[in-house]
Structure formats: C-alpha cells, structure tokens
Amino acid sequence: MNILLLEDDLILSAELCRFLESNNFNCDKIYDGETFLRQIKNNTYELYLLDINVPKINGLDVCQTIRSFDKNTPIIIISAYGDISDKKDAFTRLADDYLVKPFQFEELLLRMNSLLRRKAPSDNSDQDILRIDDLIINKTEQKVYRGGNEITLTLKEFQLLVYLAEAQGRTVSKQQITEHVWEHNFNTNTNTVEVYINFLRKKIDKDFKIKLIHTRSGFGYYLSPL
C-alpha cells in the first residue's frame, strides 16, 4: 500500500519511512503542505500521515483540503501538539486519528492497520464500485472520481466509461460499443463513438500522467493503466 507522509523533520521522516517500508508499505515523504497537495493530484495513496507544524500550508489545512474532495482515505495526524484543543481541531477537520510525538512506531502501525481494515470493504468488494488505478466509478450514485477529484460526466459519457471499465482491460470494438451504449440508435458509420472517446479522454486523462483510455488501432478501445 502507498502511504504519503507530510513531515518536515528530515531525520524523523527518513526513519519513519524506513520503518513503514520494512512493514511492506511504500512510503513517499513530503516536507511542506503545498508540495503535498500537488503530489496527491496525480498519485493514489491509501493513507495520509500529516504533521501539523510544517512549512507553507500546515497539516490541519492540508487535512481540510483533502476532505473537500476525498472523504474516505484515512488521515492520521502526527504532532507534538498534545492539547485537547489541538486534537479537537484535527477531528473537526475530519482526521481519523491523532498521535502525539514522541510515539512508538509500532503503535502508529497498529493504528494504520486498524484504519485500513475498516476502509477495505468499501473499496472493491461492492459490485457497484469499479476501480481502475486511481479512477473510481460509483455505478449506484453515477459518480466518477480520479485522484480524489470528482469528474462530471454526461449520461452517455458515464455509460461509455462504465462499459469500458467492465470490460476489465479487454478491447471492445466500435460495433460492441454502439450495441451496448447506444443500442444501435445511430449510424455506425458516423464518428459518434470517436467523439465520445475524445470527450472522456479530456475529462479522465488530460490532467494525469498515467493515461487510462487507449486505442488499439483497427480493433477498438480499452481502459487500463498500462
């Protein structure tokens, strides 16, 4: 699992990441809040660790910003501030847990695993949730998220995206798309499918390094992070 750490103490940051990596986590470390928020736009993480007193944007404001577009990813505050008012401020901004420095790394690990166990059932076990890399499609609510940001789609764009996602990386032809998404309600010689694929690319892929929508020349389209 991928963890993103916001901590400006270089020694603590390095030691904590080494500990997490020895326990089978991937840990990226960031030293200021502004860079941290840029980092999460194009990358997917399963948990965030936030110190409060960091440069540029403090950890509490980072937490609040994350929660404005991502309600689910666990957030643990790690801070030298131990007053009840500090903890209240963190939980008011929807942090999931709060650990006062200095702390034992093993205790942090226990808290992380507890949060991740609680989060796991809501990710992929629900058949109405489709996930491809950092793209999440909620079929029930007809909502789409990428990198934690909600993406607004028209009904046909949503239906096309769901059809591509449910193919699980297999290439689907233009003919198959017209049958399942448009039910042959237009001439297959038109470029309607191509137009809608381009609409999706602009909304799903344009602002991300990893492209998910691909063309297999002469065969059709597929959805995959590879």
pLDDT digits (tens, 9 = 90+) for 102-111: 999 999 999 9
What is the predicted pLDDT for the residue at 122?
46
The verdict on 172 and 139 lying in the same domain is yes
Cα separation, 3 vs 209, whole angstroms = 19
Tell whether 15 and 89 lie within a shared domain.
yes
pLDDT for the residue numbered 111: 93
In the chain, how many domains are there?
A: 2
Pick from 16-30, 45-59, 138-152, 210-224: least confident: 138-152
**If you write DSSP's letter for every residue of 164-200 in order, what string do you get?**
HHHTTT--B-HHHHIIIIITT-S-TTSSHHHHHHHHH
pLDDT exceeds 50 at position 90: yes
Q: Say what the pLDDT of residue 134 is.
A: 83
88 and 174 co-located in one domain = no
Same domain? 114 vs 11: yes
Q: How confident is the model at residue 151 (pLDDT cuts 50, 70, 90)?
A: very high
Q: Are residues 150 and 184 in the same domain?
A: yes
What distances in angstroms separate CA 82 from CA 92, 100, 205, one per listed residue? 15, 6, 42
Query: What tens digit of pLDDT does each residue of 7-45 get?
Result: 999 999 999 999 999 999 999 999 999 999 999 887 889
Q: Which residue has the tokens 């049958």?
A: 179
Predicted confidence at residue 125, as pLDDT, reads 45
Is 133 a residue whose pLDDT tops 50? yes
> Within this chain, do residues 23 and 105 fall inside the same structural domain, yes or no?
yes
Range of the domain at 109: 2-119
Residues counted in the chain: 226
Assess whether 56 and 112 both reside in one domain: yes
Closest CA to 59 of 42, 28, 80: 80
Pick the last residue of a domain from 92, 119, 146: 119
62-74 residue pLDDT tens: 999 998 888 889 9
Q: What is the CATH number of the domain that holds 194?
A: 1.10.10.10
Instruction: State the CATH number of the domain containing residue 55.
Output: 3.40.50.2300
Same domain, 133 and 152: yes
Q: Are 198 and 190 in contact (CB under 8 A)?
A: no
Mean pLDDT taken over the chain:
89
Are residues 161 and 107 part of one domain? no
